[in-house]
C-alpha cells in the first residue's frame, strides 16, 4: 500500500529503517517496509490533498473577495513641489553623543 502524503512516507521510511523507532511508534517494521517498497519512484510534491474543502475557509475567502471589491484603492498624498523639482523628504539628523544605529 503506498503512502498518501509526504509526511506519512517519511514516517514509514524511518520506521522501516530503524527497529527502535518502529517499536517506539507502535508499528510493525514489516508493514513499514511494505509502505516503503510501494513508495519507490513516487513523488509527493503537493503533500497530502484534502478530500473535501473546509466550508469555513470557503466562507472566509468569499468575505475577503467581497470586501476587496467594496474597498476603493487608497490615494497617495502628493509631496509639495519646490522650485527646483520634487520636494525632499525630511531626514533625521543625529544629535551629538549617540550610536549610529
Q: Is the pTM of this model over 0.75?
A: no
Q: What's the confidence (pLDDT) of residue 40?
A: 82
Q: What is the pLDDT of residue 50?
A: 60
Nearest to 46 by CA among 5, 11, 9: 5
Residue 56 lies in a domain: no
Spans of the chain, pLDDT less than 50: none
Judge whether 83 lies within some domain.
no
Q: Is residue 69 in a domain?
A: no
Q: What is the pLDDT of residue 6?
A: 85
Counting runs of H as helices and runs of E as strands, what totals does the chain give?
4, 0
Q: Which three three-digit cell numbers place residue 1? A: 500500500
pLDDT at residue 16 in the model: 93
- Domain range for 12 is 6-38
Residue 72 is assigned to a structural domain of this protein: no
User: What's the confidence (pLDDT) of residue 77?
Assistant: 65
Q: Distance (Å, rounded) from C-alpha 71 to C-alpha 46?
A: 34
Would 15 be classed as within a structural domain? yes
Residue 16 lies in a domain: yes
Within-domain flag for 12? yes
Amino acid at each position: 500500500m503506498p503512502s498518501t502524503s509526504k509526511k506519512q512516507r517519511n514516517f514509514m521510511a524511518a520506521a522501516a529503517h530503524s527497529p527502535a523507532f518502529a517499536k517506539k511508534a507502535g508499528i510493525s517494521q514489516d508493514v513499514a517496509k511494505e509502505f516503503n517498497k510501494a513508495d519507490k519512484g513516487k513523488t509527493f510534491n503537493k503533500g497530502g490533498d484534502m478530500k473535501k474543502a473546509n466550508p469555513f475557509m470557503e466562507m472566509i475567502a468569499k468575505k475577503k473577495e467581497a470586501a476587496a471589491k467594496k474597498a476603493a484603492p487608497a490615494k497617495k498624498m502628493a509631496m509639495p513641489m519646490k522650485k527646483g523639482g520634487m520636494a525632499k523628504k525630511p531626514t533625521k539628523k543625529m544629535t551629538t553623543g549617540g550610536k549610529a544605529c
